Structure 1
Amino acid sequence: MTVDAEIEVHYTTRHDEAVRLSGTLKGRLERVRVGELLGRYLPPPPARVADVGGGPGVHASWLQAAGYDVELLDPVRRHVDQATAAGIASVQGDARRLPWDNEDFDAVLLAGPMYHLPEAADRRLALREAIRVLRPGGFVAVIAINRAANLIGSALANRLLERQQVVTEILETGFSPDNERMAHTTYHTVTQLRSELVNSGLRGVTVHGLTGPGGWLTVAIDAHFRDQGLPDSLNQPDPLETALACSRLADRCPELVPASSLLFAVGQRA
């Protein structure tokens, strides 16, 4: 089965991305933080934004509601149908071969291709395509998964011993062929992610901790109470607000970026 076919199967039969971003604490934290960080770089509405690998349109929806002119592309038919139903201009396609004209957008968000393209050459193609459709001075923002995320997450879930080989391979190379969690997923170090954006020709590259240290609180709670719901004792204070406060404080300390399970990198086209 090809990489593209496995991703289609993963998101069609095993995983509901819309539920993850709206129905889990970790997903809700990710959604809020993408809005906060992206808002630092976006020009004002009605600037044009390409949401590449935009899934069911969760991020595109709030961008459109804020007045941005958004177009979404995703390789998964189910996601394109969901985004279209939400009123977002959407097309099924490949991040390595974007269907848009040169210099058509003011900003490009790559919220999936950087971790679902395990080959470095394919990620370079996706970045080059993002830059091609971007106007001079515009920004490319990408989301990547921290290479240490599997180690910490497996330890928190007390599954490290059973996943030790997978975790070890990911720590050493950024990829494991036996990783059962996500189809064909690659994991970045902070240095690697910055280098990939710089080498693509982007300037002023900055890497942020997307979920920050506070993200591990949401992971622990989601894992422990997945089938039970949150008890009242954990609703005071709201764990999402605690995680947000932690992640925002960590923004002041660049040395804490590697403590985040998700990374958010931004670079500008010359």
Structure 2
Amino acid sequence: MTSTDVEQVVATIHDHYTNRQDEAQRLSSTLKGQLEQARVHELLTRYLSPPPARVADVGGGPGVHASWLAERGYDVELLDPVEHHVDQARAAGLQAVVGDARRLPWPNESKDAVLMAGPMYHLTEPADRRLAIREAVRVLRPGGTLAVIAINRAANLIGSTLANTLERRQPIVEQILHDGHSPANERMANTYYHSVAQLRSELDRLVSQVRIHGLTGPGGWLTVLIDAHYRGTPMPPSLLEPNPLETALTCARLADHQPDLVHASSLFLAVGKRV
């Protein structure tokens, strides 16, 4: 990728998060976002060392997860390429810097854990993702935890089918299924989609004991449907009892015990250890 290409990618990501998507509200304003947030926190609680462990939130956006960690006593530092996000994180009282996941500013073996979300799906070149993972491993102490979030390669196919937009989006969906990326994808800026096998392969090269969870689980598609049909309008009582968010959470937890069901989740959370 040339320097011009890099500049264009950065500009696209900045535009997406500054003008098109309010990342500070995404995880609280929809059922899908609430499910994602609840599951990230649930799984991090399972894998992280207890506070005051030192955690780097790489690609941490405005600091939703970092704030949750800091409230629990963790020593958190956030890095994000979008200046607007870093300003929001600092306003929330977090230590935050503008930076690149491929060139982390922290010393070797200085962190007990690294959470890396955005870099795994906004770095579309395999070499760039490997570099970001290598950097995360560099700053981890031996035995430290790396947690990464990735998007399922089948998510666009399933989502477009549920929204009945597959006929219109078929060329984009086919390109994502084949290549993991489509420059024409209008849904999310400069985005890469992983298969389970590919995500494991990228992590296995640099960390051990890799486990991949279906972050939103099969029940995440329930939240997608409800968000699509009732966004901005009250849900009928029949969809409020039992609580659909609790239904989706229960489904994700049950699916955690069935590895084959990882493939049914729109998002993955993978965890590994530095040797």
Mind listing any 5+ residue stretches in structure 2 that lack a counterpart? 1-6
- Counterpart in the other structure of 2:240: 235
Correspondence for 1:189 among 174, 191, 195: 195
State how far apart, in whole Å, the 2-side matches of 1:76 and 1:229 are.
Answer: 34
State how far apart, in whole Å, the 2-side matches of 1:85 and 1:229 are.
Answer: 32
State how far apart, in whole Å, the 1-side matches of 2:87 and 2:40 are.
Answer: 23
Q: Give yes or no for the alignment of 1:113 onto 2:131.
A: no
- Counterpart in the other structure of 1:168: 174
Q: CA deviation at 1:237?
A: 1.2
- Counterpart in the other structure of 1:7: 13
TM-score (norm 2): 0.96
Describe the SS at the equivalent of 2:44.
helix
- Counterpart in the other structure of 1:129: 135
Mind listing any 5+ residue stretches in structure 1 that lack a counterpart? none
- Following superposition of structure 1 onto structure 2, how do residues 244-255 of structure 1 map, counting pairs within 5 Å? 244-255=249-260
State how far apart, in whole Å, the 1-side matches of 2:254 and 2:212 are.
Answer: 16
State how far apart, in whole Å, the 1-side matches of 2:242 and 2:73 are.
Answer: 33
Q: CA deviation at 1:227?
A: 3.1
Describe the SS at the equivalent of 1:186.
coil
Describe the SS at the equivalent of 2:268.
strand
- Superposed CA RMSD in Å reads 0.8
Q: CA deviation at 1:37?
A: 1.1
- Counterpart in the other structure of 1:41: 47
- Counterpart in the other structure of 2:75: 69
- Counterpart in the other structure of 1:29: 35
Residues 13-32 of structure 1 show CA distances to partners (whole Å, capped at 9, x for unaligned) of: 00111111111100000001
Q: Give yes or no for the alignment of 1:81 onto 2:81.
A: no
State how far apart, in whole Å, the 2-side matches of 1:146 and 1:187 are.
Answer: 6
Measured at CA, do residues 79 and 229 of structure 1 come closer, stay the same or move farther in structure 2, by a change above 3 Å?
Answer: farther
State how far apart, in whole Å, the 1-side matches of 2:18 and 2:107 are.
Answer: 30
Structure 2 letter corresponding to 1:256: L
- Following superposition of structure 1 onto structure 2, how do residues 212-231 of structure 1 map, counting pairs within 5 Å? 212-231=217-236
Residues 60-91 of structure 1 show CA distances to partners (whole Å, capped at 9, x for unaligned) of: 11111111000000001111111111111100
Q: How many residues align?
A: 269
State how far apart, in whole Å, the 2-side matches of 1:109 and 1:231 are.
Answer: 37
State how far apart, in whole Å, the 2-side matches of 1:17 and 1:160 are.
Answer: 26
State how far apart, in whole Å, the 1-side matches of 2:114 and 2:274 are.
Answer: 11
State how far apart, in whole Å, the 2-side matches of 1:11 and 1:33 are.
Answer: 23
Q: CA deviation at 1:40?
A: 1.6
Structure 1 letter corresponding to 2:160: S
- Counterpart in the other structure of 1:53: 59
Question: Would you tell me which structure has more helix in proportion to its own residues?
Answer: 2
Q: CA deviation at 1:41?
A: 1.2
Correspondence for 1:142 among 140, 143, 148: 148
State how far apart, in whole Å, the 1-side matches of 2:43 and 2:219 are.
Answer: 15
State how far apart, in whole Å, the 1-side matches of 2:72 and 2:234 are.
Answer: 32
Describe the SS at the equivalent of 2:238.
helix
Runs of 4+ in 1 over 4 A off after TM superposition: none
Q: CA deviation at 1:232?
A: 2.6
Describe the SS at the equivalent of 1:2.
helix
